[in-house]
Structure 1
Amino acid sequence: MLSNETKITTIILLGFGDLHELQIPLFLSFLVIYIIAITGNILILVLVIFDHHLHTPMYFFLGNLSFLEACYTSNIFPRFLLALLTGNKMISFYSCLAQWYLCSSLVATECCLLCAMSYDRYFAICKPLHYSTVMNIQTCIQLAAASWINGFAVFLILLILLLQLHFCGPNEMDHYFCDYFPLLKLSCSDVSLMKMLSYFVAAIFTLPPFLLTLASYVYIVTAILKIPSTTGRKKAFSTCSSHLIVVSVFYGSLIIVYMLPKAEGKREMGKFSSLMYIVLPPLVNPFIYSLRNKEVKEALRNIIERIVHYTVIP
């Protein structure tokens, strides 16, 4: 059992501890980012739930995505902010494993949800006559459920295998949250197989959604370019532009982070670059959808009018 083998009970997340003079500015900056991200995503989720104009397949998936982003930021930021404010960088071993598992599972789930959203946009633009028949409520629920199940099932395999490793120290992790490869560095066991398995799992379960998303947009762009009128092309493109930007931000930030050289002297750069996929998608997604979609802006206006109405008139 793990309890009989593991000597590590707590892990110290070094974070940005060497930047002593910047701890408070970093805390204030990340606190503002967290508040904006969590508020924006919860607001989108509320609008999707309570405004009947947004009860469509695209916004059903957007509601799932916003809920996911809220969970994602709440899994990492509170512990990180506490460490910056108090200097307490310790986290229990099992809490560290749980944080990594939730973070990885939510990233995999987001890959699948973005794929489902691209599938929805493909039928809306390329097969409009079949759209209402194919993208019914049952199909949407099945696609969303499959995304969540796939995301959490994928990394459950790695979690179970991690629990079989022998962790005897050191207990310092040069990161600001619990990530997979920094965790492996704390193990005294042979982790070469675990490293290979992680690449295999990532390739099998996250590459196909990416390729399907890419293929969907190849067909979508091709279909849009075939529309004869400029007005028609603009109208068609506007129905998928927000999602295309979200996909670009999400995959772009991941690609930038994992294509950076992993040189030892660039560890700090690596930690800062990882903020791109930790911070950027949850922060900008609500703005992309709220600023570029008339339906969302109208729903927000209606909610505000209701609040003002019930506040002014008892």
Structure 2
Amino acid sequence: MKNKSREIEFILLGLTDDIFLQMVIFLFLFFSYILSLMGNFIIIVLTLLDPRLKTPMYFFLRNFSLLEISFTTVCIPRFLISILTGDRTISYSGCVAQLFFFFLLGITEFYLLAAMAYDRYVAICKPLRYPNTTKSKVCYQLVLSSWETAVLIIFPPLLLGLKLDFCAPKVIDHFLCDTSPIFQISCTDTHFIELTNFVLAMMTLVVTFLLVVFSYTFIIKTILKFPSVQQRRKAFSTCSSHMVVVSITYGSCIFYAKARVTLTKGVAVLNEPQVKEALKHVLQKTVRQHFDIN
């Protein structure tokens, strides 16, 4: 983007202008954010303090928790502050920074999941090699390579994005800086950068997903060869935390794509006067019943 664009300020429309709905959204996101912070901080502290958790699997899990804290902090706090203050403006540099860290942290998570799958593969399929293959140095290299890969992936679209000009009103139809609404307000041809983003996004999803699938294919085949049920159960239990994280992460991608449409429709419906009154009535009735019981 040209130098004059550095002085640009964007306006984030958010999700709704209704005060009541804004407070509902604020409370939901606030408590979700606090719970996420608490859960991930507990994981980090426990894996640092408990000697029994000084294993490669928990090292990767600790790094993933740190990524989750950073990722949610990039998105949620600023939106919560904008609801409280009513200030929806964001500077050009702030928007670029939010986009950069949003994609950097998100992409790093996917490659870290692939590294965690490799750790589980070696632990179960190559147990004799596990102590040497997953030494501390190797674990650090795998985490670092996840970050490096993410930087390399976002670098081309970032350079292209910095060249965008904005001729239309600088209003972003979102609660954060995201590529799609930013492209909509740009007067520069964005077809090439959109194609680049799509190719890189699909490459990240497909490559990391295939690495996870291949790892677990070999893991499951190996576990099924174990002679006793107890051994198989113990082996599966060592993969449970990673499998949950994988399911949530890849599931959230599908959810996010669907939620952008669904949430917009949902907020539009909730803005209807009859629906709004019904929601207020249900909440007031719930509060009264709670106090009557107490």
Residue number in structure 1 paired with 2:118:
119
| Matched residue, 2:33 | 34
Q: Which residue in the other structure is 1:255 paired with? A: 254
Secondary structure of 1:91's aligned partner: strand
Runs of 4 or more consecutive aligned structure 1 residues displaced over 3 Å after TM superposition: 260-263, 269-272
Q: Which amino acid aligns with 1:63?
A: R
Q: Which amino acid aligns with 1:213?
A: V
Specify the alignment match of 2:139 in structure 1. Answer: 140
Which residue of 1 is the match for residue 149 of structure 2? 150
Measure the CA separation in 1 of the matches of 2:260 and 2:140.
40
Aligned to 1:189: 188
> Structure 1, residues 7-60: CA drift from partner, whole Å, max 9, x if none?
871111111124432111221221111111112212211222233322211111
**Deviates most, 181-190 or 168-177:** 168-177
- SS of match in other structure, 2:11: strand
Tell me which amino acid in the other structure corresponds to 1:27: F
> How far apart are residue 172 of structure 1 and its match?
1.2
Task: Specify the alignment match of 1:48 in structure 2.
Answer: 47
Secondary structure of the residue aligned to 1:194 is helix
Q: Which residue of 2 aligns with 1:268?
A: 264
Q: What letter matches 1:268 in structure 2?
A: T
Per-residue CA distance 1:240-297 (angstroms, 9 max, x = gap) = 0111011011101212433x4987xx6704999xxxxxxxxxxxxxxxxxxxxxxxxx
The amino acid that maps onto 1:229 is S
What is the aligned partner in structure 2 of residue 108 from structure 1?
107
Cα contact 2:12–2:174 (8 A) shared by 1: yes
- TM-superposed deviation, 1:86: 1.9
Matches within 5 A, 1:197-216: 197-216=196-215
Larger deviation: 34-43 or 111-120?
A: 34-43
Q: Which residue of 1 aligns with 2:2?
A: 2
Match of 2:161 in 1: 162
Tell me the equivalent position of 1:225: 224
Query: Structure 2-normalised TM-score?
Result: 0.85
SS of the equivalent of 2:166 reads coil
Q: What secondary structure, in the 3-state scheme, does the structure 1 residue paired with 2:87 have?
A: coil
Aligned residue for 2:90, secondary structure, equals strand
Counterpart in the other structure of 1:179: 178
- Trace 1:71-82 onto structure 2 (pairs within 5 A): 71-82=70-81
Q: CA deviation at 1:122?
A: 0.6
Q: Matches of 1:267 and 1:39 in 2, distance apart?
A: 26
What runs of 5+ residues in structure 2 fail to find an aligned partner?
269-294
Note the residue ranges of structure 1 that are not aligned, 5 or more in a row.
273-314
| CA RMSD between the two structures | 2.2
Larger radius of gyration: 2
The more displaced of 101-110 and 177-186 is 177-186
How does the TM-score come out when normalised to structure 1? Answer: 0.80
Deviates more, 1:153-162 or 1:199-208: 199-208
Contact 1:174 1:182 in 2 (8 A): yes
What CA distance in whole angstroms lies between the structure 2 residues aligned with 1:88 and 1:51? 44
> When the two structures are aligned, how many residues end up with a matched partner?
268
Which secondary structure does the structure 2 equivalent of 1:128 belong to?
A: coil
Q: Is 1:122–1:220's contact at 8 Å kept on the other side of the alignment?
A: yes
CA distance in structure 2 between the partners assigned to 1:191 and 1:29 by the alignment: 35
CA–CA distance in structure 1, aligned partners of residues 75 and 223 of structure 2 = 40
Show the counterpart of 2:279.
none
- Distance verdict in 2 for CA 1:256–1:37, change over 3 Å: closer
Q: Does the C-alpha gap of structure 1 residues 50 and 236 become closer, same or farther in structure 2, counting only changes over 3 Å?
A: same
The alpha carbon displacement at 1:191 in A equals 0.4
